[in-house]
Chain A
């Protein structure tokens, strides 16, 4: 394993662990302000985590090792994604390239862990959340793969860091129709995958609508803390990836103190901007009915697919 990539991975993981609760805090705070509330402050997610870690963890009869191991797997897969995708810098490991399919499958390990935790609770709510979660995850996958496929065609590689680097070299490609279509599709996929509005309402506990909250409803104490941290890490990593693709500047191309510092600062800035934008958009959105979510996902798939078709047009035109 190359040293530069290892340093970068450690930096990315550390930064993301610190930043993703703050990201959630920023999003909640933005939303609160826009809705005319004072809000709990940006640091509240961190305070929540501390509180949950100190609380007693209950375990209901009938649950097995999955309930205990699932949250840890979710967090670990989140950390692994933070290590793999280009967030602060784009210096991949030589033997574990940040290949699109590898990243997606690591993401899916977390998805599965969460779904199994939901099922293991043995209540109607847990199963319901798990079932909806997996249905959406299954329908999102074509969009994700086809969208990144579209981005990979001009580069000739499915490695995310090479895509990001190519965009730094050729800034015009960021606003090309291919890239815009693919990024919109990807953004919808990210929203669906991380359970934000209009697919899932992260702040609801209404049984008819909740997805994520239904899965974690039986978890408590540190188990719940891990689950929350894991979900936040996924949100942070995916938004960060979107940021790197949308605004590739500032991503370190080689490992040096200066470049990493710039990278970290730019990442924090991108996350804050994207997070506030997402939160601001959420104020104006209502949650879709569950059975209209497939329409949204089909739409995002069409956009991704058209991005592929459009990429051929551009390649020919150039």
Chain B
């Protein structure tokens, strides 16, 4: 592939990853958030495929397919099912108001950009230049985890965090071995399924899945 086309495609994928990250923090409608997460998964899969074409590593196509199926289709479907069974599809009041969390997003992106400076020398230039996007996704994921009350939002945050880690891994190392990726993905699926069950139990116990009710985790 021509280097310019490679860097353009890479930039496009990174842009979609970042944009979906911002929108996930912004939107309050759970259905839309899950849709965005699935778009993010697809973008990640395309990113992996592009890196695979560039580094002529056919096993990366397998990883890309795995990512596409798992993050683009399976996990969003599971999440949709959880949120569909949990009543109204809107998150009412996040811990931080939307304006503040959007400003935090801007600052976190800046932070991600600053901390990835030492990585400038590693790996091929266009791929490494996009590393801040991955780090930013990790930070956005944490922000969602820390600031949202709804259990499904928590899952979304967790998945975005994982997307970020995966993106960083692919961009820096040119990919992880298929086996490792497979193991990590299965772990992820397991976590989500366990949490789905847990959510069901929480709802059975409390009547809703607002995690604010879980504030006596001291003892």
* Interface status of B102 (Cβ within 8 A of chain A): yes
* Interface status of B105 (Cβ within 8 A of chain A): yes
> Which one of B8, B103, B125, B133 lies within 8 Å of A316 (CB-CB)?
B125
Q: Mark A299-312, 1 if CB is under 8 A from B, else 0.
A: 10111011001101
- Sample of 20 A–B contacts (CB below 8 Å): A180-B15, A181-B15, A295-B26, A298-B99, A298-B103, A299-B26, A302-B102, A303-B22, A305-B106, A306-B106, A309-B109, A309-B110, A309-B132, A310-B15, A313-B132, A317-B10, A317-B129, A317-B130, A318-B4, A318-B7
A295 touches B125 (CB 8 A): no
* Interface status of A177 (Cβ within 8 A of chain B): yes
| Residues of chain A with a CB closer than 8 A to B15's CB | 176-178, 180-181, 310
B7 touches A302 (CB 8 A): no
B129 touches A313 (CB 8 A): yes
* Interface status of B12 (Cβ within 8 A of chain A): yes
Q: Which of B157-173 contact A (CB under 8 A)?
A: none
- Given the known A-B contacts A294-B99, A317-B125, are A310 and B18 also in contact in the complex, defined by CB atoms under 8 Å? yes
* Interface status of A314 (Cβ within 8 A of chain B): yes
* A176–B12 CA distance with the chains assembled, in angstroms: 7
- Given the known A-B contacts A295-B99, A295-B102, A299-B102, are A310 and B14 also in contact in the complex, defined by CB atoms under 8 Å? yes
The 7 A-B residue pairs with the shortest CB-CB distance, nearest first, are A177-B15, A317-B126, A317-B7, A298-B102, A316-B129, A298-B99, A295-B98
Given A295-B97, A299-B102, A313-B14, output 10 extra A-B contacts at Cβ < 8 Å.
Answer: A176-B11, A181-B15, A295-B102, A301-B106, A302-B105, A309-B109, A313-B132, A317-B129, A318-B4, A318-B7
* A277–B175 CA distance with the chains assembled, in angstroms: 42
* A312–B131 CA distance with the chains assembled, in angstroms: 12
* A317–B102 CA distance with the chains assembled, in angstroms: 27
Closest chain A CB from B121 CB (angstroms): 12
